[in-house]
Chain A
Amino acid sequence: MSDHDHNHQGHHHDHDHSELSETELRVRALESILTEKGYVDPAALDVLIDLYEKKIGPRNGVRVVAKAWSDPAYHARLMKDATAAIAELDYSGRQGEHMVVVENTPEQHNMVVCTLCSCYPHPVLGLPPVWYKSAPYRSRAVSDPRGVLKDFGVTLPDTTKIRVWDSTAEIRYLVLPMRPAGTEGWSAEQLAELVTRDSMIGTGLPKQPGEIA
C-alpha cells in the first residue's frame, strides 16, 4: 500500500505526523475564530462529542436486535415500521429519521453501504467506522460483496442470495441478523451478548453461543 492509501484509511503512521499536526492546528485556530465571532459555543461542542462517544453507539442497535429476537410482537412492529419500533427504545433523530430493517434469512443475506459518502444509521449504530467510509468498501460492496465478506473472514453458502442496500437517500438501513441456533429460551440480555456491530451492517455474523463465556 502507498502512503496515500494509508492516509485515506485514516491510519496514523510516523510519516503522517507533520501533516496531522498541521490539521490539528488548523482545527484549533478555526474553533477559536468561530468562538470569538460568536458562531459556536465550545461547551455545546463538548455536549455533541460526549453524545456521540458515550450515548449513541452500536449498543443501541444491539438492544433492538436482541428484543426482535426474543419478542415476536416487537419483531413484527420492527419489520412494519422500524422508525417507530426503534423509537420505543428511545433511539431516534439525526441520520435515523427514516429507518428500515432488513432481515437475514437462510435464503438472503443483506449488506448495507453508502457508495456516495458515509450514510449510516447513527441512532442505532453510532458514527461509522473508518472502513465503512473508505474507498475499498464503498467501491466493492456493490460489485463484489462476497469478496468484501471474505475480507471480514465470512463465507456464505453459494445458495444464499446477497442483497446490497446502497443508502443513496435519507432512508437508513439496519440488518437484523439470524438468531444463532442453540439459544432457545435465552433472555434478551443473554442474546445481546451475541450481536456484533458488523452483523448489523451485514459484513459480519452474530457470535455463536460457544464464542461467549
Chain B
Amino acid sequence: MDGAHDMGGAKGFGPVVAEPNEPVFHDDWERRAFALTVAMARPGGWNIDMSRFARENRPPEDYLSKSYFQIWLAGLETLMIERGLVTREEIESGKVLSPPKPGIKAIAPTEVTPAIRRGGPTEREAKAPAMFAVGETVRMKDIHPVTHTRLPQYVRGHLGTIEHNHGCHVFPDTNSLGKGEDPQWLYTVRFDGPELWGKDSDPTLSVSVDAWESYLERAS
C-alpha cells in the first residue's frame, strides 16, 4: 500500500539525529512490547509479512506520531484481535473477559534461543527458470497495490539494471494476505541517482532495491 511507511525520497523530516550511547531499549515497556510481539508470532499463527502489514496499514498521522515500539504494539493488537485471540474490550479494560482460544501453546523459555538462532529463511526451490539475467536493463512496474507490497514508490516506473539473482524467495504480497508463499525469483536491481531523482541528483549516487520478479518488466 502507498502508506506513510514508504518514505524513500520524502522531504521535510529534517536531519538525522543520533543518540550517543543509545541503549537497546529506552523503557521497560519497549522490552516487553518487543518480546511479546516476537513470542506471539508462532502461537498466533502469523508470518513476518502479515506483521509488517499490520504495522504499516494505518492512517499516516497515526504512523508518523507513534514511536517505533508503539507501532509494534498497535500491530500486535490488530493481529490478535483479527484472529480472535483477544478482544478489543479485553485490551481496553486490561481484564480477561473471554476464554482462551483452544489449542494455542506458548513458546517455552528453552525454545527461545534455538528459534532465534534458526530464524526463518525465505529461500525456496525454483519451479521455473529466471526471466531476467544479470546485466539486463529492466523497468519497475508502476503498480499501486492496496495491500502489502515491498516495491517502494520511489523506484516504480524507473529503469534499473539487474545486478544479482538471489534465488527464489517467499513473495510478501501474497504471503501477507495468507494466500500462500508463491516463491519468486528475487533480484538486486540498481538505479543511477539521476534516473530516480532527476538532473539535480548526486551524479555519483546509485541505489538498489531487492525486487521480486513480478515487480519487473522488460525495458522495451
Point out residues on A near B: beta carbons under 8 Å. 1, 4-5, 7-12, 20, 23-34, 36-41, 43-49, 51-53, 56-57, 92-98, 115-118, 126-127, 129-131, 133-140, 142-146, 148, 151-152, 158-171, 198, 203
Chain B residues 40-84 with CB under 8 Å of chain A are 40, 43-44, 52, 55-56, 64-68, 70, 73, 76-77
A195 to B109, CA, bound (A): 33
Most buried by A among B5, B55, B204: B204
With A46-B109, A98-B166 known as contacts, the answer to whether A26 contacts B150 (CB < 8 A) is no
A55 to B158, CA, bound (A): 41
A168 to B38, CA, bound (A): 20
Given A138-B8, A170-B122, 17 new contacts (CB under 8 A): A41-B109, A47-B113, A49-B34, A51-B112, A96-B119, A118-B68, A129-B18, A136-B14, A136-B15, A136-B16, A139-B8, A143-B154, A146-B202, A162-B206, A168-B152, A168-B210, A169-B172
- Beta-carbon contact of B108 and A135 below 8 Å: no
Kindly count the residue-residue contacts between A and B in the assembled complex, taking CB atoms under 8 Å apart.
280
Point out residues on B near A: beta carbons under 8 Å. 5-11, 13-19, 22, 24-29, 31-36, 38-40, 43-44, 52, 55-56, 64-68, 70, 73, 76-77, 85-86, 90-91, 94-96, 100-101, 104, 106-109, 111-113, 115-123, 150-152, 154, 166, 169-170, 172, 186, 188, 190, 196-197, 201-202, 204-212
- Beta-carbon contact of B169 and A27 below 8 Å: no
With A20-B27, A27-B29, A115-B152 known as contacts, the answer to whether A39 contacts B43 (CB < 8 A) is yes
Contacts of A23 in B (CB 8 A): 29, 70, 73
A159 to B22, CA, bound (A): 33
Chain B, interface SS category? mixed
A133 to B67, CA, bound (A): 10
- Beta-carbon contact of A27 and B24 below 8 Å: no
Contacts of A33 in B (CB 8 A): 86, 90-91, 94-96
The residue on A at minimum CB distance from B187 is A169
